[in-house]
Amino acid sequence: METEPQQELREIVGQVRGYLERQRELGLDRGELSWPASPAAAAARPTLEQVRADLGECTRCKLHRHRTRIVFGVGNPKAALVFVGEAPGADEDAQGEPFVGRAGQLLTKIIEAMGMRREDVYICNIIKCRPPNNRMPEADEIVACQPFLLEQLRAIGPRFICALGGPAAQTLLQTREPISRLRGRFYDFHGIPLLPTFHPAFLLRNPNEKKTVWEDMKLLLRHMRQA
């Protein structure tokens, strides 16, 4: 008989498998995203305003039935660094802005410790509506939002991406590896260095890991300064 953790793990694996299969069906694998490679191509990039307009008052997945506001993203539209998280929480749903609750306040402190302000970076999530009771995003919800996330990143054209937590890193890198194995090193995302690290909400529950995340941020800063 399966234990509760085993059942939970089996459900998560099933969701990830279904998500990856659905991505292939919709043609949303990594090869589908074309990044501007020249000044002429860069001029054809969408703007964030265009991406938001295309998103509209989205009803593409079941999450629209529960949300108060769409939480699109906030920050510098030409940011060199983009932080990508998991999903809006209650505070974000109420205000329409990502990372404004307790986890967001911690992220702000991390950004400031790096010598930047929230206004210098761009912050968004892999999905734009709050899941009920702050549950994990489900595969169909991620698939519905993914084109808009990719277009956000294409519009900004950042030099670096920091994926906050497992769902963000797994979605962008299309992997099943847990964040504990992914964090602490760079991966290529269409020519953009991507660094996964723990989500600030995880740090609120596990404050002993703050040092780990700070080591990741120091690694990110070193690479940003050398670029």
- Tell me the pLDDT tens digit for each residue of 128-180: 999 999 999 999 999 999 999 999 999 999 999 999 999 999 999 999 999 99
Residue corresponding to tokens 């969701």: 15
Task: Give every CB contact of residue 112 below 8 A, 6+ residues apart in sequence.
Answer: none
Q: Residue 159: name the closest of 221, 82, 85, 214 by CA.
A: 82
**Structure confidence at residue 113 (pLDDT):** 98
**CB of 169 within 8 A of CB of 216?**
no
The domain covering 45-226 belongs, at the CATH homologous superfamily level, to Uracil-DNA glycosylase-like domain (3.40.470.10)
Q: What is the mean pLDDT of the chain?
A: 88
Share of the chain above pLDDT 90, in %: 80
**Structure confidence at residue 162 (pLDDT):** 98
pLDDT at 40 over 70: no
Say which amino acid occupies 156: I
pLDDT at 221 over 70: yes
β pairing state of 74-75 and 187-189: unpaired
**Structure confidence at residue 225 (pLDDT):** 96
Q: What 8-state DSSP symbol labels residue 105?
A: H
**CB of 143 within 8 A of CB of 97?**
no
pLDDT digit string, tens, across residues 165-176: 999 999 999 999
* Angstrom distance (rounded) from CA 133 to CA 170: 22
**Structure confidence at residue 227 (pLDDT):** 86
pLDDT digit string, tens, across residues 57-68: 999 999 999 999
Virtual CA dihedral for 172, 167, 74, 156, nearest 10 degrees?
0
**Structure confidence at residue 80 (pLDDT):** 98
**Structure confidence at residue 44 (pLDDT):** 78
**CB of 195 within 8 A of CB of 44?**
no
Q: How confident is the model at residue 35 (pLDDT cuts 50, 70, 90)?
A: low
Domain ranges (residues) in the chain: 45-226
β pairing state of 122-125 and 74-75: antiparallel
* Angstrom distance (rounded) from CA 74 to CA 26: 28
Among 23-32, 41-50, 136-145, 218-227, the range scoring the smallest mean pLDDT is: 23-32
